[in-house]
Structure 1
């Protein structure tokens, strides 16, 4: 009994040592501030539109800045799109929670279903594979103590984190779990129980904003809920202002406190940023936490963040005119009957001249008659040519006058018909374009054109320099009559949506 008392005291001291380590860090990745690069760690479906693929990105977080057992996270990620509807990624991560030290990798895949140009459903999954060891080695098990002791092992764990994201125009609702399924291969059992699962949900809305020459900027207020086993639910808010040149965000988490951060893009490809989080709760240390973000974008600069769910739905500025097809004068045709009569007349004259030459004995008289006839014939030809030229000029002038009159009539608006006309547009050939839709964002432009192609159409688009909107057209026509016929027949029955005519007059 006397030998057991010191052992019991030592065991209680050990328990007291670990129970007094405050604050207790939640068992999650603490990635609630990720809004742009590496957002797929928050929800795997975000690799489709919030990871700026194709890019290499780095994220690190230093929690509370304690000297000993400083909780920290490192995440280095590569992501890229495989097409308009899928994306993949691979990452290396290390996380120190103060109790465990995890080192491993992550594979990401996400796929998007387009129900319509405005309604999208994205499904994604992160597969984690990592080695888990004890981060705090201040206590080492003593095999000579006759009491139960924790077993120190290096565990290998596979963890699956699925997520879904539903977007309706500019509104996004997403749900994910960090550890819905996991397995500890060292212990041959599940790594966490059902009640120890971490779930996250987020609701956000994108407001397009105009900032000088940055037409693709947007403001994204968001709120999220995170359920963590053994602790109260975390509720947080943040607002992100994002452009292709810089970004900034402010936020609040009821456990970690207030956060403010920002960053900038240099040389159109390199982005650097930082964030600081200040604790306010009396139950949690008020020491600050820091995050650093760095990324290198490998694609074209205009493929980065765009305004989410932003489509032009108002009347464009400019001249709206309605009218009939423009008159196109027919080419002047020669009168075949008149030419035949002239040939017959000349033949008759030649025959008559031949008879006269036969009846004249003197060569001088024949020569004089021939010369006279030639002069007369030349004058006749010149006279016919002049008459023909004057008739052609008269016909041409009449045709031009008719064309002007009919063009003026054609330009008069008809009730209910939408038609826009510009003199020139960069890169566009003169003609009449059958417009199907207008977009202010590449995301919805690509989705709409992909939907048309799936229906067997071959749409094209052009970007207007005046308003920076993309116009999707089904075909270009040479005349208004052809364009109207295509519009009124629903593009020969191949397109059920509304269309209208956009004319480029040309130089």
Structure 2
């Protein structure tokens, strides 16, 4: 049986995540956490560490698939994940998977951040980053002869990235994720090509509560519908879970590849829980037999009441304290809605008052600016008028001075002319007198000569 193990495994590699066309020993990462809506939900979609989550968990998960088949796929995972704040979810998981003669060992980290759109809607972004070692599990190889092909299978170290997004309403969640968006092989220093586990996954989830009497009063119902679109196939799956407030939950599911599933969960105490799921293969995988997975978890106490979470009161079969009376989920939802409505109304009133005060302040500032501008304009006009008056006065003074200077000049010219005329007149008189005196002298001399003659 052992000698034919490798051949048999290679026959269903397309189903069980092997990629050996180019890189021997490489296994594409696909953690088989698909039947639980309570624990390790961040593996389903990177945003689910935040979406509808109230607590933080430490969990230990084991899944054995197809138990009728020797050396069937076996998965172990230990994780710490959940809600870490009003807008933050995170997770860390360590895992090991054995696929007959092939094995993987590694870790996956998760981070989710939420953005609140309005009172009843949120947009959450998530990212899973996985790093793991993939190679040959030599302890599972049983052969009578040495096979060089097995000895040449190298160990590979790979890194994978899986982003996701979720849009949440009061009871509905809609989201997308990309599985194995990027897978980098450090051994070959190149991206993994033709990855059979690469695909786009879409989901629609409903979360609601039952308002009835008796055992099922305040029970929570969760339903998840998923479609995963891969290169060679499309996988459709659906899950439904009913959680009873006494700390018991049951879930059923269907997967178009892996078949039907059913499971039960129980809170042993408010902190310690255990969950078991049974999966029955269908179609070509029926001969491999059923699959089993079991989870043991520890739930941390959380005193915070986050928005956009289940907010369920947790109880267990064993509890040191009596359970406090639980208010109806609908009453809680109404009270929470009324509280939010009152808070929003108060915030709106405060915003209105602040807006009115801001408007008054702006109006006062505008009036002040207008008054300042008016005063500045008046001051400029007054200064202009004063400047014009001053200029006019200076012009008048200058004109007066010029007129006076002109008058003075004219007076001086007139005085000069009069003085020159007077001088000329005196000169003419003097010349006349001298001429007359000369004529008189000449006449006297002539008369003298005549007398002398």
TM over 0.5: yes
Separation in 1, partners of 2:270, 2:5 = 54
Distance in 1 (alpha carbons) for counterparts of 2:351 and 2:181: 51
Per-residue deviation, 1:229? 4.7
Question: How big is the shift at 1:98?
Answer: 3.9
Tell me if structure 1 keeps the 8 A contact 2:51–2:309.
no
Matched-pair contact (CA < 8 Å) for 1:265–1:272: yes
- Judge conservation of contact 1:59–1:76 (CA < 8 Å) in 2: yes
CA RMSD of aligned residues (A): 3.8
Aligned residue number for residue 297 of structure 1: 299
Cα drift, residue 494 of structure 1: 5.0
- Structure 1 distance, partners of 2:170, 2:311, is 4
1:306, CA displacement in angstroms? Answer: 8.4
Aligned to 2:159: 158
User: Does the alignment pair 1:118 with 2:10?
Assistant: no
Q: Aligned partners of 2:180 and 2:293: how far apart in 1?
A: 23
What's 1:137 paired with? 141
Q: In the TM superposition, what is the alpha-carbon distance from 1:96 to its structure 2 partner?
A: 2.2
Question: Which has the larger share of helix?
Answer: 2
* Cα pair 1:169 1:309 within 8 Å, conserved: no
1:178 equivalent in structure 2: 179
Q: Does 1:29 align with 2:19?
A: no
2:415 corresponds to which residue? none
The count of corresponding residues between Structure 1 and Structure 2 is 318
Distance change >3 Å, CA 19–CA 309, structure 1 → 2: closer
The C-alpha deviation readout for 1:115-142, integer Å capped at 9, x for no partner, is 0111111111111111111246357874
User: Structure 1 length as normaliser, TM-score?
Assistant: 0.55
Q: TM-score, normalised by structure 2?
A: 0.61
Match of 2:209 in 1: 208
Q: Whole-Å Cα distance in 2 between the matches of residues 305 and 259 of structure 1?
A: 32
Query: Aligned in 2, Cα 1:158/1:51: closer, same or farther, shift over 3 Å?
Result: farther
Alpha-carbon distance in 1 for matches of 2:156, 2:341: 55
Tell me: CA distance 1:191–1:156, structure 2 relative to 1, closer, same or farther (3 Å).
same
1:209-229 CA distances to partner (integer Å, 9 max, x unpaired)? 136588653212221112345
Is the 8 Å Cα contact of residues 266 and 273 (structure 2) preserved in structure 1? yes
Match of 2:276 in 1: 274
- The Cα shift of 1:441 comes to 4.5
> Of 232, 249, 252, which residue of structure 2 is paired with 1:250?
252
Distance 2:301 2:5 in 1: 54
Unaligned runs of 5+ in 2: 18-29, 313-329, 356-453
Indicate conservation of the 8 Å contact 1:34/1:42, yes or no: no
Q: Deviations over 1:419-444 (max 9, x none)?
A: xxxxxxxxxxxxxxxxxxx98359x9
Deviations 1:351-400 (A, max 9, x none): xxxxxxxxxxxxxxxxxxxxxxxxxxxxxxxxxxxxxxxxxxxxxxxxxx
Deviation at residue 14 of structure 1 after TM alignment: 8.8
Q: Is the 2:75–2:96 Cα contact (8 Å) retained in structure 1?
A: yes
Gaps of 5+ in 1: 1-12, 311-437, 449-468, 476-485, 497-507
User: Is residue 56 from structure 1 mapped to residue 64 from structure 2 by the alignment?
Assistant: no
**Secondary structure in 2 matching 1:49:** coil
When structure 1 is superposed on structure 2, of 257-266 and 42-51 the one drifting more is: 42-51
Residue 42 of structure 1: CA displacement?
0.8
5 Å-filtered alignment, 1:91-490, equals 91-98=93-100, 100-135=102-137, 137-138=141-142, 142-143=147-148, 151-193=152-194, 197-210=198-211, 212=214, 217-230=219-232, 232-244=233-245, 245-285=247-287, 287-300=289-302, 440-441=332-333, 445=336, 473-474=342-343, 490=349
Q: How far apart, in 2, do the equivalents of 1:307 and 1:50 lie? A: 4
The aligned counterpart of 1:343 is none
Cα deviation, 1:333-367, whole Å, max 9, x if unaligned, reads xxxxxxxxxxxxxxxxxxxxxxxxxxxxxxxxxxx
The 1:156–1:262 alpha-carbon spacing in structure 2 relative to 1, beyond 3 Å, is same
